[in-house]
């Protein structure tokens, strides 16, 4: 049985890993900020040495753009120093480390999908702090999987649940038509993580559902699958009611997965269909 310590277990990815993990194959140690603060090296070192997990998955993070811009010191403390601390703990106890990262390490100005071989160039405090976390992980623990994903949705508040909730209250919604990404189900991302941690294929991976679309096309597909109807307008980002701040081009290419043949993600439309069928459009997930 593989022992996995999930930091940030209350987030949508942490919950998804718990949901899809076979209890006969994995034992989970779930912690979040209320239990273990990853910015405190002494306390997480104590937890790690006491429980000796085989794998540490860092789902923790300060992700709100405005919060990061307003509090850069806090952003770097959580996203960079926290990642460094977990890398140090993992090295000390001989554990593998999964560091969850983001498309925001790129500047979003590309006209083609970003691969793992493209040079990061973050433009935001959030992106810069996440890239610093990646670099700390590379520096302190060779046995790492750095996993970048984008437009992730799952349990909790995200674009899908927010849009479905707004459909029930509004007659017209304005959605950005100039943002592009690869909508990725947290469930599908969790399946990939549980697969790759059982290998020694260490390194940096882009991991998204296949295909890409605009936010506007994403919203149209959510509406189609939900059976709900509302008028949506395609507008520039600055006029959008959702995701007013985001890299314009957030499409990641799963180049390393394709080159190695390690894993194949489903298409984004199929994964979205599975998710909406699972939660139901009147689910309590819609907050």
The predicted pLDDT at position 242 comes to 67
Q: Are strands 213-214 and 180-181 parallel, antiparallel or unpaired?
A: antiparallel
What fold is seen in the domain 2-156+184-211+249-267? Answer: Rossmann fold (3.40.50)
Q: Which residues contact 117 (CB under 8 A, 6 or more apart)?
A: 255
**Per residue, what are the HEC states of the chain?**
CEEEEEECCCCHHHHHHHHHCCCCCEEEEEECCCCCCCCCHHHHHHHHHHHCCCEEEECCCCCCHHHHHHCHHHHHHHHHHHHHHHHHHHHHHCCEEEEEEEHHHCCCCCCCCECCCCCCCCCCHHHHHHHHHHHHHHHHCCCEEEEEECCEECCCCCHHHHHHHHHCCCCEEEEECCCEECCEEHHHHHHHHHHHCCCCCCEEEECCCECCEEHHHHHHHHHHHHCCCCEEEEECHHHCCCCCCCCCEECECCHHHHHHCCCCCCEHHHHHHHHHHHHCCCCCCCC
pLDDT tens, 205-226? 999 999 999 999 999 999 999 9
> Rounded to an integer, what distance in angstroms lies between the CA atom of residue 206 and that of residue 189?
11
The predicted pLDDT at position 166 comes to 87
The C-alpha angle with vertex 66 and arms to 64 and 67, in degrees rounded to 5, equals 65
What's the predicted TM-score (pTM) here? 0.94
User: What are the Cα distances from residue 215, in Å, to 22, 159, 235, 250, 251?
Assistant: 34, 9, 10, 11, 12
User: What are the Cα distances from residue 265, in Å, to 42, 185, 186?
Assistant: 38, 10, 12
pLDDT tens, 46-73? 999 999 999 999 999 999 888 999 999 9
DSSP lists the bridge partners of residue 210 as 267
Mean pLDDT by 10 residues, the chain (287 residues): 96 97 96 89 96 97 92 97 98 98 96 97 96 98 97 92 86 91 98 97 98 96 90 88 75 97 97 92 46
> Rounded to an integer, what distance in angstroms lies between the CA atom of residue 281 and that of residue 225?
9
User: What are the Cα distances from residue 254, in Å, to 54, 68, 147, 258?
Assistant: 26, 27, 10, 6
């Amino acid at each position: 049985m593989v022992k996995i310590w999930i930091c940030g277990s209350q987030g949508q990815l942490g919950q998804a890993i718990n949901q899809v993990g076979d209890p006969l194959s994995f034992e989970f140690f779930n912690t979040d900020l209320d239990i273990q603060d990853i910015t405190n090296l002494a306390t997480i070192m104590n937890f790690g040495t006491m429980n000796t997990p085989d794998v540490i998955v860092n789902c923790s993070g300060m992700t709100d753009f405005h919060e990061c811009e307003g509090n850069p010191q806090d952003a770097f403390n959580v996203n960079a120093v926290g990642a460094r601390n977990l890398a140090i703990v993992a090295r000390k106890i001989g554990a593998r480390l999964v560091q969850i990262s983001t498309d925001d390490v790129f500047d979003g100005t590309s006209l083609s999908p970003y691969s793992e071989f493209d040079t990061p160039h973050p433009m935001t405090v959030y992106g810069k702090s996440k890239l610093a976390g990646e670099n700390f992980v590379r520096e302190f623990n060779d046995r790492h999987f750095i996993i970048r994903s984008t437009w992730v949705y799952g349990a909790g508040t995200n674009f899908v649940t927010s849009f479905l909730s707004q459909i029930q209250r509004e007659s017209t919604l304005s959605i950005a038509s100039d943002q592009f990404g690869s909508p990725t189900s947290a469930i599908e991302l969790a399946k990939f993580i549980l697969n790759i941690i059982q290998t020694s294929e260490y390194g940096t991976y882009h991991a998204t559902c296949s295909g890409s679309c605009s936010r506007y096309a994403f919203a149209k597909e959510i509406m189609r699958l939900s059976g709900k109807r509302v008028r949506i307008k395609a507008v520039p980002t600055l006029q959008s009611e959702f995701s007013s701040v985001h890299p314009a081009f957030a499409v990641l290419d799963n180049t390393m997965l394709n080159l190695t043949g390690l894993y194949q993600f489903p298409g984004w439309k199929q994964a979205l269909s599975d998710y909406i069928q699972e939660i139901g459009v009147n689910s309590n997930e819609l907050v």
